[in-house]
C-alpha cells in the first residue's frame, strides 16, 4: 500500500470541499477523498485504524459497492512515520441512503435498491477478511444518480477480530429498550438494515409502532406483510434477538409490491 506524507498530500492544490466529523476531517480533491484523523485519536485506536486500512486496501473481490482505501497518509516523526489517515475514491453526484429514502417517491425503486444493498452486505459478510460493519446506518451508504450504492467508512467496522468503533443509535435504542446486552455480529448488521427500513416507513422506532398500525399499513404495503412475523418477534418481551434474514431474501420480487408512502425518519 503506497504511503504519502500529509503535508505533501494536503498542499498540492485547493480542496473543493471540507467536512468535519467527530473523529476526522474529510477533504475532497478531484477524484479522491482525504480522511485525516484528529490528533486526539489515541495510539491504540490509531494503530487499529492503520491495520484495518491495510487489510481493506488488500481486499480482492468482484463485488461492487465497496469504497476501499487507496493510500495511507503518514507524518514523518524521526525514524518513524505516524499514520494519520488515508485516501479513497470520491463518489460524485451522490447522497446518503438516508437522504434518498426521505426524498424519493418511487418506492418500488427504493425497495429494489435496498434489496441490492442487502446482497452487497451478504457479500461483505462472506469476505475472508471477516468483516462485520457494526455501524451500519443509512448515513454510511451512498447512492449516486444512477442508483448505484456504496458502503463508506469501512475503517470503523469489525475486521479480522478487531473491534468496531461505534454502533448505530437506532440499533442501540432497540437493544436498550429490550434490555438486551449489545453484541456485534452479522445478525446485528441484518437487524440494523431491517430497523432502518421500518423506521423509513413509520418515521419512528419500532417499539413505538402499535400492532394495529402495522396491520393497517400492511394492507397497503406488501413488503410489510411479508415482514409481519419478524415485526412480532422483535416486539416480544423476551430478551433475545431473533434470527434476521437479509432483506433481499424477504422482498423477493419487489415489482409485485404496491407503492409505499414514505415518511421522514426521526
Residue 255 has pLDDT above 60, yes or no: no
- Report the share of the chain in percent with pLDDT over 70: 88
pTM reported for the whole predicted model: 0.89
Q: How far apart are CA 109 and CA 113, in angstroms?
A: 6
CA angle, 214 as apex, 263 and 175 as ends, to 5°?
85
Could you tell me the three cell numbers for 108?
Answer: 418500488
35-81 pLDDT per residue, tens: 999 888 889 999 999 999 999 999 999 999 999 999 999 998 888 88
Which CA distances in Å does 104 have to 82, 97, 109, 151, 185?
A: 43, 10, 9, 20, 31
Cell of 118: 442487502
- Among 70, 93, 91, smallest CA distance to 155 is for 70
pLDDT value at position 205?
92
Q: Which residues are paired to 208 by β-bridges?
A: none
What 3-state DSSP class applies to 236? coil
Domain ranges in the chain are 3-89, 94-256
* Residue 14: pLDDT band with limits 50, 70, 90: very low
Picking from 19, 87, 56, the residue whose alpha carbon sits closest to that of residue 154 is: 56
pLDDT, average across residues 229-251: 88
CATH classification number, 94-256, choose in 1.10.3720.10, 1.10.510.10, 3.40.140.10, 3.40.50.1220: 1.10.510.10
pLDDT bucket at 20, cuts 50 / 70 / 90: low
Residue 153: the pLDDT is 93
- DSSP state for residue 57 in the 8-state scheme: H
- CATH homologous superfamily of 3-89 equals Phosphorylase Kinase; domain 1 (3.30.200.20)
Q: What's residue 40's pLDDT?
A: 87
- Summarised one tens digit per residue, pLDDT across range 111-134 is 899 999 999 999 999 999 999 999
CA distance 246 to 266: 23
DSSP 101: H
Kindly report the number of other CB atoms within 10 A of residue 157's CB atom. 24
DSSP 181-203: ----SHHHHHHHHHHHHHHHHHS
Average pLDDT taken over every residue of the chain? 87
Q: Is the pLDDT of residue 264 over 60?
A: no
Share of the chain above pLDDT 90, in %: 59
Model pLDDT, residue 65: 96
Q: Lay out the sheet containing 94-96: strands in order across.
A: 94-96, 141-144, 149-151
Amino acid at each position: 500500500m503506497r504511503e504519502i506524507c500529509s503535508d505533501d498530500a494536503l498542499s498540492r492544490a485547493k480542496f473543493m470541499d471540507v467536512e468535519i466529523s467527530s473523529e476526522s476531517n474529510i477533504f475532497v480533491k478531484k477524484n479522491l477523498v482525504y480522511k485525516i484523523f484528529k490528533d486526539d485519536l489515541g495510539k491504540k485506536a490509531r494503530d487499529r485504524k492503520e491495520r484495518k486500512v491495510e487489510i481493506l486496501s488488500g481486499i480482492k473481490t468482484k463485488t461492487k459497492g465497496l469504497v476501499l482505501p487507496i493510500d495511507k497518509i503518514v507524518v514523518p516523526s524521526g525514524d518513524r512515520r505516524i499514520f494519520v489517515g488515508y485516501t479513497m475514491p470520491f463518489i460524485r453526484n451522490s447522497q446518503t441512503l438516508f437522504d434518498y429514502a426521505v426524498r424519493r417517491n418511487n418506492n418500488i425503486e427504493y425497495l429494489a435498491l435496498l434489496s441490492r444493498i442487502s446482497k452487497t452486505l451478504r457479500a461483505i459478510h462472506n469476505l475472508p477478511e471477516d468483516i462485520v460493519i457494526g455501524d451500519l446506518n443509512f448515513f454510511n451508504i451512498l447512492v449516486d444518480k444512477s442508483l448505484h450504492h456504496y458502503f463508506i467508512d469501512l475503517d470503523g467496522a469489525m475486521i479480522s477480530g478487531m473491534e468496531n468503533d461505534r454502533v448505530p443509535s437506532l440499533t442501540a435504542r432497540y437493544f436498550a429498550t429490550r434490555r438486551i446486552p449489545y453484541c456485534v455480529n452479522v445478525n446485528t448488521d441484518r437487524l440494523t438494515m431491517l430497523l432502518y427500513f421500518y423506521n423509513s416507513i413509520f418515521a419512528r422506532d419500532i417499539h413505538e409502532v402499535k400492532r394495529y398500525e402495522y396491520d393497517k399499513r400492511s394492507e397497503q404495503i406488501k413488503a410489510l406483510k411479508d415482514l409481519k412475523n419478524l415485526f412480532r418477534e422483535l416486539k416480544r418481551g423476551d430478551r433475545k434477538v431473533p434470527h434476521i434474514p437479509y432483506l433481499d431474501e424477504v422482498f423477493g420480487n419487489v415489482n409485485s409490491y404496491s407503492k409505499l408512502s414514505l415518511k421522514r425518519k426521526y
